[in-house]
Amino acid sequence: MNSIIMTNIVRFVLLVLLQVLVLQYVRIGEGYWRSFHFLIYPLFIFLLPLRTPKGLVILLGFVVGLTVDFFYDSLGIHAAASTFTAFIRASVIRWLSPKGGYNINFSPTRARMGLAWFIRYTSILLFIHLFFYFSVEFFTYAYWAEILKHSISSFLASGLIILVQQTIFGRLD
């Protein structure tokens, strides 16, 4: 089997297992701190190779979200957010395109794209993912302050974990 496919299968399994077996149960305090959610499974979508067809990215986004939904018992919220993130991924990649273009054979990792580019790329996609996720979860914009609070706090928590993951394991891709 192609090593790129195998790498992404392993990444899918490890990120979903980490999400549903560990991060799902991480609770930080009470009150305001309850708004910190650690969602790192979108990293699977972020790190798909650049040459992956958009339709396949959307399908894989739906599958990773549905898998997480199964363990969270959350009725498609993760699937909706992951599918939307997968849909806009190509636009974000085009928007952040460097002058020389991309080597489409690689995944957009921190090691290959550089720290500054990777932070911009993941920040945009992660915040959009989280904002969409919490918008669907609250199901009304009457709670816009709660949606924003949860999105920002979860963005900081999840973004930190993603950066640590890429620092430690990013060279393995």
State how far the Cα of 83 lies from the Cα of 35, in Å rounded to an integer.
Answer: 23
Residue that has been written with the tokens 């999840």 in this structure: 158
The torsion defined by the Cα of 111, 114, 118 and 119, in degrees rounded to 10, comes to: 120
All structural domains of the chain with their residue ranges:
3-23+38-172
pLDDT of residue 146: 87
pTM, rounded to two decimals: 0.89
* CA distances for 74 relative to 24, 41, 51, 96, 115, angstroms: 12, 15, 31, 33, 34
Instruction: For 34-49, write each residue's pLDDT tens digit.
Output: 677 889 999 999 999 9
Instruction: For 52-63, write each residue's pLDDT tens digit.
Output: 999 999 999 999
Instruction: For 90-144, write each residue's pLDDT tens digit.
Output: 999 999 887 777 766 678 888 888 889 999 999 999 999 999 999 998 887 778 8
